């Protein structure tokens, strides 16, 4: 019986690991050869980034064009597997450009570190002690980063929280301005450094010491005008506002609307190798901060009968630290983007999220998304069916013409093409 319990897998060389996996899973020789190819990310470096490394994973990266944000032109690298996203985003940016492009801004980089103190015997006394020794706690936290201290950033304040279901528990919020960093590492260090002192003064027992991925004080805002005559006239404008109203009030629609925003946000985060899981968790939690889950964006008709689109979204990406500099193509993506600093980076991402969202909602409010989506999907199916070179367009065009876009039909068409060409 094959077992997944492999002694010291992490100590094996990469070829040994691949060999073990290959035998376990019955990989073919050609597949093993593919695993050995890690593209621009050297095996030796990748092996140091994660554990039990065997290979890298490719994902297409495209460029969204037409972006004008706060008067500056950008090319936006987007890494995503879903067809239509890059095209739709570029198209929305083109429309926004006609009215001056996107206006976007970001707040300061304030984040929260949480320290959970349990088994507190005297809650009012413990809270009083924390309050009294606040400056000492902050000074201790600030030992974690000389850079932040030098910039007059770092741990700024403390909030004391209690939650009814958690008996004898105080939750400390360490409010930290992380400057140009994403912030996770420095905040986690601050929480760990201060925990023993907090135990000492409260008599409690610290359990969790970790940043919160919810960043309501690190938020970006983007807005743009989408002119009625460029998007199908006042009928489409009215329909877009109705769609937006639904996303505001209906959780089932809100989550799909927000997923459309994240199509753009995540694609930039992945291209630049930032933590997109954090962005997802953050955005969706933020969308429910008022007690119900709602849309992060809104589309309203302005006095000229055009659409004004607005998006407010928490985004926490740094321009210092992180693994980006180890991933050659992420470094290139960052260079293509041409941002100077965290606030600009976050603002650009918010504008991309808004563009992506607008493109989807506009299409849904008019012709629907299947037409464009399935057109591109047909190319993917053609490739998956085995088509190459000119065959891809031939199969894809036939699929679209017939309106029956399926893998089975793609295979049949490919077979017919090859038969007509007398084999390949």
Nearer to ligand MEV, 173 or 239 (CB): 239
Closer of 91 and 215 to ligand MEV (Cβ): 91
Among positions 164-193, residues that touch ligand MEV (CB under 6 A) are none
What backbone torsions phi and psi does residue 365 show, to the nearest 5 degrees? -85, -10
Among residues 223, 306, 343, 373, which one is catalytic?
Answer: 373
State in angstroms the smallest separation of the CB of 104 from ligand MEV.
20
Q: Which stretch binds ligand MEV (CB under 6 A): 2-10, 165-173, 256-264, 378-386?
A: 256-264
Give dist(CA 100, CA 98) in Å, integer. 6
The interface region with ligand MEV, picked from 254-262, 264-272, 283-291, 330-338 by CB under 6 A, is 254-262
259 is catalytic: yes
Binding marks (x or -) toward ligand MEV, 211..250, rule CB under 6 A?
----------------------------------------
* Smallest distance, ligand MEV to C-beta of residue 189, A: 37
User: Which one, 215 or 357, has the nearer CB to ligand MEV?
Assistant: 357
Binding mask 261-300 for ligand MEV (x = CB under 6 A): --x-------------------------------------
Q: What contacts 396, CB < 8 A, 6 or more positions away?
A: 375, 378, 379, 381, 382
Q: What does the per-residue mask of binding to ligand MEV show for 351-390, with x meaning CB under 6 A?
A: ---------xx--x----x---------------------
The active-site residue out of 82, 217, 301, 397 is 82
Is 125 assigned a catalytic role?
no
Contact pick of 173, 239, 259, 418 for ligand MEV (by CB under 6 A): 259
* CB-nearer residue toward ligand MEV: 244 or 282: 244
* Spatial distance between the Cα atoms of 379 and 381, rounded to a whole number of angstroms: 5
Using CA atoms, how far residue 126 sits from 141, 187, 245, in Å, is 19, 23, 46
* Least distance in angstroms from the C-beta of 283 to ligand MEV: 14
Residue 217 annotated as catalytic: no
Active-site residue among 129, 259, 284, 329? 259
Give the shortest CB-84-to-ligand MEV separation in angstroms.
8
Count the site residues for ligand MEV by CB under 6 A. 10
Q: Is 227 a catalytic residue?
A: no
Catalytic residue from among 275, 306, 343, 344: 275
Residue 260 binds ligand MEV, judged by CB under 6 A: yes
The catalytic site residues sit at 82, 259, 275, 373
Binding footprint of ligand MEV on the chain (CB under 6 A)? 82, 256-257, 259-260, 263, 360-361, 364, 369
């Amino acid at each position: 019986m094959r077992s997944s319990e492999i002694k010291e897998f992490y100590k094996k060389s990469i070829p040994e690991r691949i060999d073990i996996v290959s035998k376990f899973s019955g990989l073919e020789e050609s597949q093993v050869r593919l695993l050995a190819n890690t593209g621009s990310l050297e095996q030796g470096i990748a092996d140091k980034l994660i554990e039990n490394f065997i290979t890298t994973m490719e994902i297409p990266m495209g460029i969204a064009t037409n972006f004008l944000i706060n008067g500056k032109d950008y090319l936006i690298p987007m890494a995503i597997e879903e067809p239509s996203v890059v095209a739709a985003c570029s198209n929305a940016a083109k429309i926004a450009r006609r009215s001056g492009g996107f206006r976007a801004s970001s707040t300061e980089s304030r984040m929260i570190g949480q320290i959970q103190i349990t088994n507190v015997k005297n809650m009012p006394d413990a809270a009083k002690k924390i309050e009294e020794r606040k400056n000492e706690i902050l000074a201790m936290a600030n030992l974690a980063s000389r850079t932040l201290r030098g910039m007059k950033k770092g741990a700024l304040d403390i909030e004391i929280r209690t939650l009814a279901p958690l008996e004898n528990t105080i939750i400390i919020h360490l409010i930290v301005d992380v400057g140009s960093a994403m912030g996770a590492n420095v905040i986690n260090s601050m929480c760990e450094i201060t925990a023993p002192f907090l135990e000492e003064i409260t008599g409690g027992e610290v359990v969790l010491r970790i940043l919160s991925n919810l960043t309501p004080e690190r938020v970006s805002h983007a807005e743009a005008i989408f002119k009625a005559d460029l998007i199908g006239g006042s009928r489409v404008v009215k329909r877009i506002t109705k769609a937006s109203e639904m996303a505001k009030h209906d959780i089932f629609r809100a989550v799909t609307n927000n997923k459309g925003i994240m199509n753009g946000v995540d694609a930039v985060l992945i291209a630049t190798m930032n933590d997109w899981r954090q962005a997802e968790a953050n955005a969706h939690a933020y969308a429910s901060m008022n007690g119900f889950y709602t849309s992060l964006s809104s589309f309203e008709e302005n006095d000229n009968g055009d659409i004004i689109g607005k998006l407010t979204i928490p985004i926490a990406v740094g321009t210092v630290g992180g693994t980006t500099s180890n991933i050659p193509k992420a470094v290139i993506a960052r260079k293509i983007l041409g941002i100077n600093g965290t606030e600009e980076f976050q603002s650009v991402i918010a504008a991309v999220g808004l563009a992506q969202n607008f493109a989807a909602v506009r299409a849904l409010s008019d012709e629907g998304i299947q037409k464009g989506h399935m057109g591109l999907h047909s190319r993917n199916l053609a490739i998956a069916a085995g088509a190459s070179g000119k065959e891809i367009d031939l199969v894809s065009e036939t699929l679209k013409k017939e309106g029956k876009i399926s893998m089975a039909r793609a295979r049949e068409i490919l077979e017919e093409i090859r038969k007509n060409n007398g084999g390949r």
